[in-house]
Amino acid sequence: MSTTFIDEKPTQNLEAFKGVKKVPHEEYYTSGHRTCQACESAQIMKLMAKAAGPRTIVLGSTGCMYVANTSYYATPWGIPWMHTQLGSSGSGALGVAAALRVQMRKGFMKDEPINVIAFCGDGGGADMGLGAISATMTHPDYNLLILMYDNESYANTDIQISGTSPYGVNTSFSTPGKVKRIMHHRWKKNVAPLMLVGHPTCKYVGTISTSYPLQAMNNIRKALSIGGPTFIHCLNPCPKGWDFDPVLSFELGELAVNTGIWPLYEVENGKIKLYGKTEQIANGRFKRLPVRDYLLKQGRFAHFVEDDIEYFQSKIDEMWNKWLVPGVIPLQKELDADVPPAN
Ligand SMILES: Cc1ncc(C[n+]2csc(CCOP(=O)(O)OP(=O)(O)O)c2C)c(N)n1
Ligand code: SF4
Ligand SMILES: [Mg+2]
C-alpha cells in the first residue's frame, strides 16, 4: 500500500553534459526570430531548448520572448511551443502537465516522460504571474520547470520598471529629472529565495547566467530530472533596455556575478550550494569587483553620481556581510542572538 498521497511520475534522466564537446549539435531554438542583436534572453531560450532536448513542450508568457519569437508565420522553435497569458506561466505549465498525464492515462498518447517548461519574463514572473507560479509550486505531483528570464524591465512594451529593476535605474517609467535624479527607490525582488522558502516541497530552485552556458544547461537538466515543480531565475543583459553596446552582453553577465550583484546558487532537496565565482567570493578566494565596474558600462545608470554608486555598493556589501546566507537569504546574522536556544 502506498505510504504517500503524492502521485509521482518518472522524469527524463538528463545527466549533466560533461564539457562543451559533449553538448549535442542539434538546436531546438534556431534562426527565425527578431530579438535585438546580442539579446541574452534569446540566448537562454536557445540553451534551455538544447538542455531539455526534443521530448519537451515549452510555454511562454507574453513579453519579448513571445512577441519577437512568433512573428506571423515564422518561429525559431523546433519543439512544440505555446503562448500563455502574461500572468499565467505557472497555471499554464500546471495545466499542460496535468493534460499530458490524462492523455497518457487514457491511452491517447504513449506513456513517456515529457519535459514541460514554462518561461516568463520578470514582469510575467516576479510581478503579474507570481501568484500562479506560487500555486503551481505547491503541487508536488506534477513535473515542470518555470524559467524566469530577467531583463530587469517590461522590455517588450518599451522598458518600464518591473519588480526586479535595480535601484535608481533609468527606465521609461523612471526617467531622471532636474529636480529628482533617482526616480526608482525600490530594491530588486529576490525571487528564487521567495520560491524556495515559501514552498518547502519544491525540490529545486536556483539562479543561472547565460555567461556560464554549460553550467546553465546542466542546472536546467537537473531541475527537469529531479521531479515536481522547479524554478530557475536567469539574469539576462538586454542591450536595448540597459543601453550598452551589444558586444558587452557576455561581459556584463560575468560582471554581475563578479561584483556580487548576481549570486549563483542552487538549492537541491533543501541543500544550498553556491557555485562558480559566487562560491569563490563566499570562501574568500575571489575578491568582489567594485559595483561601479558593472554600473558605468550601462547607459541606464549614466545619471548616477558618486553618492548613488556608493549607496549601491553599500547594499551589495550588506548582502555579503550581513545576510544569513551571503547573497541569498536576507535574514540578518545579528538576529541570531535574539533567537531562543532550541530545547
Ligand atoms: C495582462 C496584460 N497586461 C499587459 C500586457 C502588455 N504587455 C505585453 S508584454 C509586456 C511586458 C512583459 O514584461 P516581461 O514579463 O518582463 O517580459 P519582457 O517583455 O521584458 O521580455 C506587457 C506589459 C499584456 N500582454 N497582458
Ligand atoms: S529589448 Fe532586450 S530582451 Fe527584448 S529582444 Fe531586445 S535585447 Fe532582448
Ligand atoms: Mg522583462
CATH code of residue 237: 3.40.50.970
**Domain range for residue 45?**
23-290
Instruction: Give the contacts of 259 (CB within 8 A, at least 6 positions apart).
Output: 288, 289, 290, 291, 293, 294, 316
Note the pLDDT of residue 333.
Answer: 64
Structural domain contains residue 68: yes
Note the pLDDT of residue 271.
Answer: 96
Structural domain contains residue 76: yes
State if residue 64 touches ligand 2 by the CB under 6 angstroms criterion: yes
Note the pLDDT of residue 336.
Answer: 52
Grid cell listed for 56: 519537451
Q: How far does the centroid of ligand 2 lie from the alpha carbon of residue 117, in Å?
A: 21
Q: How far does the centroid of ligand 3 lie from the alpha carbon of residue 195, in Å?
A: 18
Note the pLDDT of residue 27.
Answer: 97
Structural domain contains residue 265: yes
Note the pLDDT of residue 205.
Answer: 98
Instruction: Give the contacts of 26 (CB within 8 A, at least 6 positions apart).
Output: 50, 54
- Nearest residue (CA) to ligand 1, atom 4: 86
State if residue 45 touches ligand 2 by the CB under 6 angstroms criterion: no
Output the DSSP codes for 88-127: -HHHHHHHHHHHHHHHHHTTSS-----EEEEEEEHIIIII
- Nearest residue (CA) to ligand 1, atom 13: 154
Structural domain total, the chain: 1
Residue 73 burial class via C-beta count within 10 angstroms: exposed 0-12, middle 13-18, buried 19 and up: exposed
Ligand 2 pocket mutation pick from 151, 235, 249 by most atoms within 8 angstroms of CB: 151
Q: How far does the centroid of ligand 1 lie from the alpha carbon of residue 194, in Å?
A: 21
Q: Which atom of ligand 1 is closest in space to residue 85's alpha carbon?
A: 26
Structural domain contains residue 305: no
Note the pLDDT of residue 343.
Answer: 46
Note the pLDDT of residue 308.
Answer: 98
Structural domain contains residue 280: yes
Note the pLDDT of residue 95.
Answer: 98
Ligand 1 pocket mutation pick from 88, 150, 156, 158 by most atoms within 8 angstroms of CB: 156
Structural domain contains residue 303: no
Instruction: Kindly report the pTM of this predicted structure.
Output: 0.96
Q: How far does the centroid of ligand 1 lie from the alpha carbon of residue 145, in Å?
A: 20
Note the pLDDT of residue 6.
Answer: 78
Q: Which residues of the chain have pLDDT under 70?
A: 1-3, 333-343
Structural domain contains residue 82: yes
Note the pLDDT of residue 215.
Answer: 98
Structural domain contains residue 237: yes
Q: How far does the centroid of ligand 1 lie from the alpha carbon of residue 148, in Å?
A: 13
Task: Give Cα separations from 339 to 325, 333, 335, 342 (angstroms).
Answer: 17, 11, 7, 9
